[in-house]
A and B are shown apart, each in its own frame.
Chain A
Amino acid sequence: MPVLSKNRASDLRLCFEAIVATLPLAIAVIPWGILTGALGLEIGLSAWQAQAMSLFVFAGAAQISALSLMAGGASLQSLFGSTFVISSRHLLYSIVFRQRVIELPIAWRAAIGFVLTDEMFAVSEAKTRQTGHFSALYALCSGWTFYVIWNLATWAGIVIGDSIQDLESLGLDFAIAATFIAMTFNELRRFPVAATIVASGLVAVLIKPLFPDGYIIIAAVIGMCVGFFLSDDDDKSFNASEGTK
């Protein structure tokens, strides 16, 4: 499975498409990146430490939660426990991606794994469903686009601090909702998919106040079970996404 094709122009176009598809999501998290940088300094991290967190941990929700735990003087165990629960949904992405990347050289697998975020998973899976096959180059470009913007936003937060607090009320998070709807509702006509969406959305809203760390993974697994039990092995539409389209 070669990653780059012989055709450089088509590779470049693929990269460009990945960047364009990722941009709305990347822009939407800029306020959170700024918050992460500013909050880091506020609770006593050095500029390098605040930036290092985005450079090496690169997980928005886990970072923000960790910073508030650190501010409260939490133990390392509770810090790591919360990080694990929040980022456990990446295990699911990892399983889904396994059959797509396992043949790649280790450097490519590491480079893709390191930037495997919600946003990259969403963008890449949408592309795979659309074209019928997975593109490692597309996933990589999407993931690293997101990485660069997240780190620039963190850096901005470190430099300018929280002097622009109104950023969160700008409504940039709408772009997340719009993009994720655009990536999932196109298959709403398939009953098991519709049921999955309703179940996981409903559960997420209902349990978020009870499990602020784990609500995404809990709701997702429940939604996936609903879809699984309502579909059957003969569902041809699913096999199409594995390359026979």
Chain B
Amino acid sequence: MIIWLSILGMAIITFVNRYLFFIEGFRFKPSAQLTRFLEFSSFAILTAIWAPIIFVVDYGNGTQGFEFNLEHAGLDYLVATTAAALMTVLGVRSIIVVVLSTGLFFCLRWFL
């Protein structure tokens, strides 16, 4: 029972977070300033999701004072990510970038 209650509660929380600003009666008109702020949302969120896939910081377990280690994913990730970034900046279409860089990634993974 408690599990079903957990699932129901979680379902409500996630749906409310998604649907809240879709409610018509909810009087809300974003100002020009807010609109400009929100224009950066996809760039900011997507980067916050993928960057930690490639780079990980380790602060240690606190027993030896302050530690700071920057670790990164394997060479396959680094090279293929760089390739994806370069292709995109050079104007290659995004679907092609995804296919080529993922292909390169798995080739590197195979050979390295």
Can you list, as one digit per residue, whether each of A59-77 has a CB less than 8 Å from chain B (1) or not (0)?
1001100100010000010
Interface centre among A49, A126, A179 (most CB of B within 10 A): A179
**Beta-carbon contact of B24 and A102 below 8 Å:** yes
Stretch at the interface among A149-157, A158-166, A168-176: A168-176
Q: How distant is the Cα of A228 from the Cα of B32 in the complex, in angstroms?
A: 11
- 23 chain-A/chain-B pairs, Cβ below 8 angstroms: A53-B10, A56-B11, A57-B10, A66-B6, A97-B21, A171-B77, A173-B53, A174-B102, A174-B105, A180-B47, A182-B84, A183-B42, A186-B91, A193-B43, A196-B43, A197-B44, A205-B57, A215-B52, A216-B49, A219-B48, A220-B44, A223-B44, A233-B33
Taking Cβ atoms with an 8 Å cutoff, the residues of A that contact B are 20-21, 24, 45, 49, 52-53, 56-59, 62-63, 66, 70, 76, 79-80, 83-84, 87-99, 101-102, 106, 109-110, 112-114, 116, 118, 121-122, 125-126, 171, 173-189, 192-193, 196-197, 199-206, 208-210, 215-216, 219-225, 227-228, 231, 233, 235, 238, 241
Taking Cβ atoms with an 8 Å cutoff, the residues of B that contact A are 2-11, 13-15, 17-22, 24, 28, 30, 32-34, 36-59, 70, 76-77, 80-81, 84-85, 87-89, 91, 94-95, 97-99, 101-102, 105-106, 109
